[in-house]
Structure 1
Amino acid sequence: MERRRSSSCKMSLCKSASSSLGYVDSSMDVDCGSGWKYAPQVVLVKIYSFLNDTDRAIMARVCRNWSLAFEAGCLWRRRRFEMGGYRARTAEFQASGFAEKFGQHLRYLTISCNHPSLVTCKIFQRAMEAFLPKLQRRAKLKEFRFSRLEMDRYWRYEQLKEKLILTLTRFLRQQFCLRVLDLSYSQFYLSAGLRIIESVGLSCGHCLRRLIMEDIFHSRLTVYSGLRYKRAISRFTNLRTISLNYGYLSDDVMEILRGNLAGKLKTMRVRVYRSDPHGHRITKLAWNGLRRACPSLKVKFNFESIGFASDIIPILVAGIPLYELYIWTGFDDNSDWRLSSILNHVAVNFKDTLEICNFEFDNSTEMIDDALFRLTQSCVRLRSFITNAVLLISTIQNICELVEQRKLDPRTFHITACNLSDLEWAELAYLQEKYANMADERSIDFRLSSDLIVESRHAEF
């Protein structure tokens, strides 16, 4: 009976395997040749490592020796469960079986709730209520990624929300070895998000190295000023990387990070979204204090659906150790973004630190050519330059010449020119061909393209 239960657990890893295969008794081992039947465990484990769950289950039922190798803990260190969409019911079954059989081996877990709906949210909550309690008694996770809940958008029933929060909170309180935690795009309501952060801080705030909490709270919440939030953040004393929204930062929060993470914090990713609170300002003094405390700090700013200079420039104060900048203006043809002012501000204040920039501009009503060229001249440390905007072909050629002369030495160089005429398209194709050999010789990911769908003869340069 014990062997039958073990076989059933193996088959729970893959529903298709369990439905198509019967149990093979050890007294009726399949003849797989004297060599392979007694192959060393290390060889069998290596073979297992290249197989998916279905093939692993099939292989495990060949003979007793192969079945023993199936139990090796190193095969079950990592697991990803897609719990949303049409996979919801199958994943619910797989997750519960996995926790019972291999939960003690698990160290790296990803749970994703992609494409949630009213139906799958209920299935997801029920699955977590069965899965996480089993796992918390067995697993000692080092990495836990629990993202894309979008609770503010799809979870309409308060009872389901509260049950899931309670299950997740209890689970996190028992994880004392976490190094990486990703709770991005969960969109918890305020008290729920704070309970989650507090639970993590109490259990593993001393050892957690990477905390990803972009959109952990739903939009429109002013989080940075709350005393309870500041106390929760103060429990993290060993972070190397933190990702969060601009609305979760303030001068007080920066002071907490400076005091707790001096000499430790290496990377900070800050997301600024149109619907999030971003009217407050973090002072130059606060940024300078954090930079002095963490001299290796690299800051990455993502502006999404924000293009006005009046919004962006006050946020990008001089003194930020800005390493990466992404700006997507959104789609608003009639807006006076004043994008040239933004580019000039970046070129003047971050020329010594900026290494990655990615611009997606809807600038059909304003020209940015001169400002963009000045930025490429000033920011000589750029290693990745990606731009999607309305540009003159002459500007693109001038920037390519900087690359050719090694005044700009990127590893990635992509320009997508918008609103081109047929003649301009042909000129752009010529530039792509002209600099192709140079790009190959210097191993530059070099691409010049247009946003237009054109005839097949123009499809590739």
Structure 2
Amino acid sequence: MQNLEDIWEEDCVFTAEESDAARFRQGSLAAEDVRGWEILPDVCLQHVFRFLHDEDRCMASLVCHHWHKVMRTPCLWRTRFFNFSGQLFRYGTSEYKSTVGYVHSLGVYLEKLDVCVCPPRTNVVAHRLVQNISGLLSELVRVKAPLHSFSLVRLKLDRTSWDSGHRNSLVDSLIYFLRNGNLKLRSICLNGIRNDMQQGLKLLSALSEMQMCMSPRWHISSLDLRGFFSTAVSVHANHSILHFLQQLPGLTDLGLSYSCLSDELLMALQHRHCESRGKFGRNILQKLSLHCIQNESHHQLVHSSSWESLRINCPDLKVKLTVDQVINGDCLARMLVPGIPLTEFNMTALYASNDIWSPKPLLCFMLPLYRHSLQFLTLDLSNRNESVDEELLELVNVCEHLVDLRVWAFLEILTLGRLLQIRLTKRRLLNKIKVRIYSMTEKEEQQDQLEEVLLPYRQHFPPELNFFAEIYPFI
């Protein structure tokens, strides 16, 4: 792929031979076809160019001066995704040159940038990643990229491949970017950075400063801090984060690790809402996403009264809870207390046959607490030694507003027929159903049985129902 910085120079001159080569590189075109492309309105060309990858866009820009001009339309370059691995490639442009070159030439159009990092396994790769990411952030500041949305995910700074120098350099680069970049960021995602407490608080302080320097018409409305702190940090015991959240009066969408949650944090969110109600409107905090994983701190108790108070003050609040490999019944009971405006629950529980845990209390007693609010439910269970068919059907039967159900579990095939019967007779809002039936036997025989069970229902499927079911060998 050619260097974007070289290709997109304004004073680029095209010869007739270059234009013809680019135009006919896939074979000769009829003259009338060429004329057809030439008379296309710019808006049509822009729509076509949106589907092209960088290499094809570069080649298209060489066709003629008109296409070169259209290719520099800002709407084609407002969104960008970079994936950093830190690896060296024998052929092709390096990660550093391609990303920094892109921002150098087209960063003035960039409004949404997503950066995903493949966590390094060695110190050498970590050092290369530091150079790549720091160079990108520095160039974004230099060109004053008008970013509205910025995402940097999966750094995982708690890995041993990052030494203290690497961590400090990356955090300092991020702070420099937040303090010196544009002041129009509305959405920030720092999911999976895994800072220690000191570095995390430094970054949060920079975010607060950026918010205070923004003009009244700009404010951070979406902030994703899931996995922001290391799993070894008990964040709920440190109240510094409460002060930080109170500095974000326009926040409507917040993502946190469950380790951050406490009664005090919910009170801080409630207090922030009351103070900013007049300035930013009534519907302030609308979505709260919580993520809980096995090796994070999740033993704290958050009382129902705190949830209830927050729900009253934020009547449009919707809570999403994702639980990954937490199968301790007492911990789940502490999380799923009454009063949470829970609209989405996702759980992965892949446990061994000798683990003393049953999903039945979750299905029978905990989740039915939210039968008036639950809309999205995803369950991935390895219940090979215990049937949960009846419990699952009863849960679907009582959840009045369920619209999306995804289940991966050991189930009887006949259960699918009963599930469809509930959908067709009672739960007409439930228009997305995806079921993966784990199996320890031959797939072909069960697949035939599945088709036989579904056959009487298929002719009654309403057009809005998106239904998918499969047999999946569980190894």
Shared fold (TM-score greater than 0.5)? yes
Q: CA deviation at 1:420?
A: 5.8
Alpha-carbon distance between aligned partners in 1 of 2:424 and 2:40, rounded to the nearest angstrom: 57
Residues 9 and 381 (structure 1), Cα distance of their counterparts in 2 relative to 1, 3 Å cut: closer
1:316 aligns with 2:316: no
The residue number in structure 1 matching 2:238 is: 226
Cα separation, 1, equivalents of 2:452 and 2:36: 61
2:148 aligned partner, one-letter code: K
SS in 1 for 2:315: coil
Equivalent-residue separation in structure 1 for 2:88 and 2:6 (angstroms)? 17
Paired residue secondary structure (2:320): strand
Aligned pair partner of 1:191 in 193, 198, 202: 198
Match of 2:293 in 1: 273
Aligned-partner SS, 2:265: helix
Q: Distance in 2 between matches of 1:318 and 1:223?
A: 23
Verify the 8 A CA contact 2:119 2:155 in the aligned structure 1. no
Q: Using the TM superposition, give the Cα deviation of residue 250 of structure 1 relative to its aligned residue in structure 2, in angstroms.
A: 0.7
Q: 1:62, 1:217 → 2: CA distance? A: 50
Note the alpha carbon deviations across 1:353-402, whole angstroms, 9 max, x for none: 11111111122233323322221221122111222222334444332321
The answer on 1:120 being equivalent to 2:120 is no
Shift of 1:29: 7.6
Counterpart contact for 1:417–1:451, Cα < 8 Å: yes
2:392 to 367, 372, 382: 372
Q: Identify the range of structure 1 (168-177 vs 117-126) with the bigger mean alpha-carbon deviation.
A: 117-126
Deviation of residue 431 (structure 1)?
Answer: 1.5
Instruction: Report if the CA contact (8 A) 2:293-2:326 is conserved.
Output: yes
Query: Aligned residues, how many?
Result: 439
Distance, in Å, in 2 between the alignment partners of 1:140 and 1:91 is 22
Q: Which residue of structure 2 aligns with residue 136 of structure 1? A: 141
* Partners of 2:224 and 2:254 within 8 A in 1: yes
* Residues 325, 350 of structure 2: 8 Å contact kept: yes
- CA separation of 1:141/1:402 partners in 2, compared to 1, >3 Å: closer, same or farther? same
* Residue 413 (1) aligns with residue 418 (2): no
Query: Structure 1 residues 347 and 105 mapped into 2: Cα distance closer, same or farther (>3 Å)?
Result: closer
Deviations 1:211-231 (A, max 9, x none): 111101111210122132222
* Pairing of 1:77-116 with structure 2 (within 5 A): 77-84=78-85, 86=87, 90-114=94-118, 116=120
CA distance in 1, matches of 2:295, 2:375: 28
Letter in 2 for 1:117: R
Relative to structure 2, which stretch is displaced further, 306-315 or 405-414? 405-414
Give, in whole Å, the separation in 2 of the partners of 1:428 and 1:27.
63
Letter of the structure 1 residue corresponding to residue 456 of structure 2: K
Indicate which of 200, 204, 218 corresponds to 2:207: 200
* 2:452 maps to 1:452: no
TM-score (norm 1): 0.86
Query: Per-residue displacement from partner, 1:331-357 (whole Å, max 9, x unpaired)?
Result: 221122232111112353111011111
Counterpart residue type for residue 180 of structure 1:
S
Q: Secondary structure at the match of 1:243?
A: strand
Residue in structure 2 matching 1:153, options 159, 164, 167: 159
Q: Return the offset for 1:424.
A: 5.9
In the superposition, relative to structure 1, how do residues 30 and 296 fare at CA in structure 2: closer, same or farther (>3 Å)? same
Cα distance in 2 for partners of 1:379, 1:39 equals 52
Q: 2:457 aligns with which of 411, 426, 435?
A: 435
**Which secondary structure state, in structure 1, belongs to the residue aligned with residue 384 of structure 2?**
coil
| CA apart distance, 1:24 | 4.5
Query: For 2:460, what is the secondary structure of its paired residue?
Result: helix
* 1:175-218: CA deviation from partner (whole Å, max 9, x where unpaired): 41111111111112221122222212221377111111110111
Seq. identity, %: 21
- Correspondence for 2:215: none
In the alignment, does 2:260 pair up with 1:248? Answer: yes
Whole-angstrom distance in 1 between the partners of 2:437 and 2:51: 43
Contact 1:301 1:322 survives alignment (8 Å): yes
Letter in 1 for 2:134: E
Conservation of the 8 A alpha-carbon contact between 1:198 and 1:232:
yes
Further displaced range: 392-401 or 260-269: 392-401
- RMSD, aligned α-carbons: 2.9
Distance 1:67 1:398, change over 3 A: closer
Gaps of 5+ in 2: 24-33, 213-217, 275-282
* 2:377 alignment partner in structure 1: 357
Alignment correspondent of 1:73: 74
Q: CA deviation at 1:237?
A: 1.3
Tell me the alpha carbon deviations over residues 234-261 of structure 1, each in whole angstroms, 9 at most, x when there is no partner.
2211111111111111111111111223
Work out which of the residue numbers 248, 267, 270 in structure 2 matches 1:258: 270
Q: Which amino acid aligns with 1:250?
A: S
- For residue 55 of structure 1, give the secondary structure of its aligned residue in structure 2: helix
Q: 1:158 deviation in Å?
A: 1.2
Instruction: Verify the 8 A CA contact 1:351 1:380 in the aligned structure 2.
Output: yes
Give deviations 1:79-98, integer Å, cap 9, x for gaps: 21111154787221012112
Partner of 1:458: none
Return the TM-score normalized by structure 2: 0.84
Q: Does the 8 A contact of 1:308 with 1:338 survive in 2?
A: no
Which residue number corresponds to residue 457 of structure 1?
none
1:82-138 deviations in Å (ceiling 9; x for gaps): 111547872210121122222222111111112533233222211222221221131
The SS at the match of 1:82 is strand
- Residue aligning to 2:423: 403
- Return the alpha-carbon distance in structure 1 between the equivalents of residues 396 and 110 of structure 2: 47
Check whether the contact 1:347–1:379 (CA below 8 A) recurs between aligned residues: no
Q: Which residue of structure 1 aligns with residue 60 of structure 2?
A: 59
Deviates most, 358-367 or 79-88: 79-88
Asked if structure 2 preserves the Cα contact closer than 8 Å seen for 1:146 and 1:184, the reply is: yes
Per-residue deviation at 1:404? 2.8
Aligned partners of 2:86 and 2:128 also within 8 Å: no
Secondary structure of the residue aligned to 1:153 is coil
In structure 2, relative to structure 1, the CA distance for the partners of 1:406 and 1:8 (3 Å cut) is closer
Match of 2:408 in 1: 388
Residue type of the alignment partner of 2:318: K
- Provide the rounded CA distance (Å) in 1 between the counterparts of 2:438 and 2:163: 45
